[in-house]
Structure 1
């Protein structure tokens, strides 16, 4: 688990986007956490089982193990805990009692499952953009609601017509061919998160 900033709270537990989107958005997410650390806000970025540097094969990942891992990571951090989740990563947060949640372009489970199936069909293979994902995981995601916290802020990027508390300028990094740095977007996201936590 990547840790940044002070060793006392408040602490952001950052939950990355899922599967291939995690690779494309990690650079942005780390840049946001570094900016927040510079302002005295601690951050932690775990690798969910089957993603990143986790030794678990992606095919063995399940939503229940993600939720257990996210809750275990949260239990090691100084509170209060604030969740920051990108895209489908918010679905891993269902068992965490957090002071607040902040979601960037969140997907419901049904939307995530549709996106994965679209990738599989477009690739003309049995995998999902290079990931082997069990049918049971797709079913888990298809029926997973987003966390319904009392203090949850939704931010989307310009061009996304879905409802949000705020829309920010920037190209969606999860659509890029590879991870790209976007300092202006990282600045805007970090400022919004910091203001949300302070408020």
Structure 2
């Protein structure tokens, strides 16, 4: 998906994967549309096995995501764009291979934390259905595992356990005020990724878009 101007500074957006993609897609799209109001374009690609991708989710790997995201950056750069990256939650786990003018992360999370959240959701669903589930059963060789409505390969889960967000130079990080991890700015809001159903917060999206636009202009200058 493309938003705003097609030339000049362009933000390449990294969606969170799996179930959080469903919960946060409308919010992220609202943010990117608001970015266009600041005169900055954006692009939102689907990673292999996610969104409209034809690849089954259980066939995807973290390395696939990193390679695909870097390829998206290369395509935008060849088209004349000056690329900046905006990643949300688990999207910050696969943007590190792409070249860019700057990076901006909102509520980045480690791969291990992402897996823990999915395991908790699986445990809650198993209790409600009175079905057995042992978290240790997802470790080791075997068939893909169903977690939070997604069929995920065990090799992907192993990759995620050791994955961490990019932490180099040219990075601005924003978090919610309830998050104790360090950040350049903290905001007062409820975490949409904890909602039972997809939701949106246009006011927060506009606030984040304004912060991102200012960061892009600062780094572009």
CA contact (8 A) 1:74 1:96 kept: yes
Question: Computing the radius of gyration over CA atoms, which structure comes out larger, 1 or 2?
Answer: 2
> Residue 175 of structure 1 corresponds to which residue in structure 2?
194
**Which residue of structure 2 lines up, in the alignment, with residue 134 of structure 1?**
153
- Moved beyond 6 Å, runs of 4+: none
* TM-score, scaled relative to structure 1: 0.94
- Give 1:165 shift: 0.8
Question: Which structure 1 residue ranges, 5 or more long, are not aligned?
Answer: none
Instruction: Give the deviation of 1:184 after TM superposition.
Output: 0.9
* Partner in structure 1 of residue 13 of structure 2: 14
Is 1:154–1:165's contact at 8 Å kept on the other side of the alignment? yes
Q: Give me the whole-angstrom Cα distance separating, in 1, the residues matched to 2:125 and 2:152.
A: 14
RMSD: 1.4
Correspondence 1:160 to 2:179: yes
What is the aligned partner in structure 2 of residue 86 from structure 1? 88
Q: Distance in 2 between matches of 1:147 and 1:53?
A: 26
- How far off is 1:68 after superposition? 1.2
> Alpha-carbon deviations, 1:112-169, whole Å to 9, x = none?
2222332233332652111111110010111123213311111111222221111112
Can you list the C-alpha shifts for 1:52-98, whole angstroms capped at 9, x where unaligned? 11111111110011011101111111332111001011111121111
Give 1:1-199 correspondences, 5 Å limit: 2-77=1-76, 78-124=80-126, 126-199=145-218
Q: Unaligned regions of 5+ residues in structure 2, if any? A: 127-132, 134-144
Residues of 1 paired with 2:106 and 2:175: CA distance?
A: 6
User: Counterparts of 1:123 and 1:142 in 2: how far apart (Å)?
Assistant: 22
- Counting matched residue pairs gives 198
